[in-house]
Amino acid sequence: MIGDPVEHSISPAMQNASFRKLGLDYIYLPFRVAKENVGAAIAGMRALNMRGLNVTIPHKLAVIPYLDRVDDLAEKIGAVNTIVNDNGVLTGYNTDSAGFLRALIETGVDPKGKNVVVVGAGGAARGIVFALIGNSAKLTVVNRTLTRAEELARRAREVFGRAPRVSALSRPDLAALVKEADIVVNTTNVGMHPAEGESPVPCELLRPGLTVYDIVYNPIKTRLLRDAEAAGAKTIGGVDMLVWQGALAFEKWTGHEALVEVMKEEAIRQLRRG
């Protein structure tokens, strides 16, 4: 993987655990790459015949010009997190958005036709919003800064010919939207360590029948997820998305089905270790 920083990434441990368990002759290593060296790093990948790369912040956009092909959804999102090297032909994918969706579907929730409220309109929201629109969810993007949600909606209209509704993150608006929703997704960093007491959605709005998906994975169980559980809602945590984006990348590189449970156990072990 390349990124900056990469020191605290749990992906190496997660991927290597699955390689080991399957007896596959691969190794996953993190490389800290500065912005100005992204092109050289991709050239190095070709020269060294690396089978694949994960790309993390801040290089997900910057790698694109150096690839031979980019998968359709990754192109629409404008971010690549996985590269596969097929005999010198480099293809970019976005398994963050695919992993988000897969974790949802694995929980038995098909977003098609569902009312979904996405909280947040930042970098993480874009792939999620596009994945959900691509799967015919009825979307509303709620953000503290309304103009940013509007920008994301505009981009969605350009790309898909359809835009989500948008709303500001005000208490009455959120209450009305969550009441109508089947699924609520938090893509903001509210509730992330060290602000573990915070939640983007007041607990009184949560109820049985609702699916609450928080992409924050540190802590493993956020305040939002704990509130949702207590309210009888179905919950999906950021660890699931993290594991599935890794599992989908693993499958593209190796052609083997990933050991999702092994990867999840390892991810949780690493996160608990801190």
Rg (CA), the chain: 19
User: Which of 60, 76, 138, 264 is labelled catalytic?
Assistant: 60
Q: How many residues bind ligand ATR (CB under 6 A)?
A: 15
Question: Contact between 145 and ligand ATR (CB under 6 A)?
Answer: yes
Least distance from ligand ATR to the Cβ atom of residue 194, Å: 13
Q: Are 195 and 188 in contact (CB under 8 A)?
A: no
**Separation of alpha carbons 180 and 136, rounded Å:** 17
Q: Considering beta carbons, is residue 189 or 270 the nearer one to ligand ATR?
A: 189
Q: Which is nearer to ligand ATR, 71 or 96 (CB)?
A: 96
60 carries an active-site annotation: yes
Residue 197 — left, alpha, or beta (φ > 0 → left; ψ -120 to 50 → alpha)? alpha
CB of 232 to ligand ATR, least distance (A): 25
The alpha carbon dihedral of 83, 78, 178, 180 has a sign of negative
Cβ-based nearer residue to ligand ATR, 60 or 252: 60
Q: Which is nearer to ligand ATR, 80 or 190 (CB)?
A: 190
Mark residues 177-196: x for contact with ligand ATR by CB under 6 A, - for none. Answer: ----------xxxx------
Q: Is 121 in the site for ligand ATR (CB under 6 A)?
A: yes
Question: What single-letter DSSP state applies at residue 136?
Answer: T
- Contact between 62 and 83 under an 8 Å Cβ cutoff? The reply is no
Choice from 12, 44, 58, 123 touching ligand ATR (CB under 6 A): 123
Alpha helices for the chain (secondary structure H)? 11-22, 38-47, 72-77, 95-106, 123-134, 146-160, 171-180, 223-230, 238-254, 260-273
Binding site for ligand ATR (CB under 6 A): 120-125, 143-145, 148, 169, 187-190
Cite the active site residues: 60
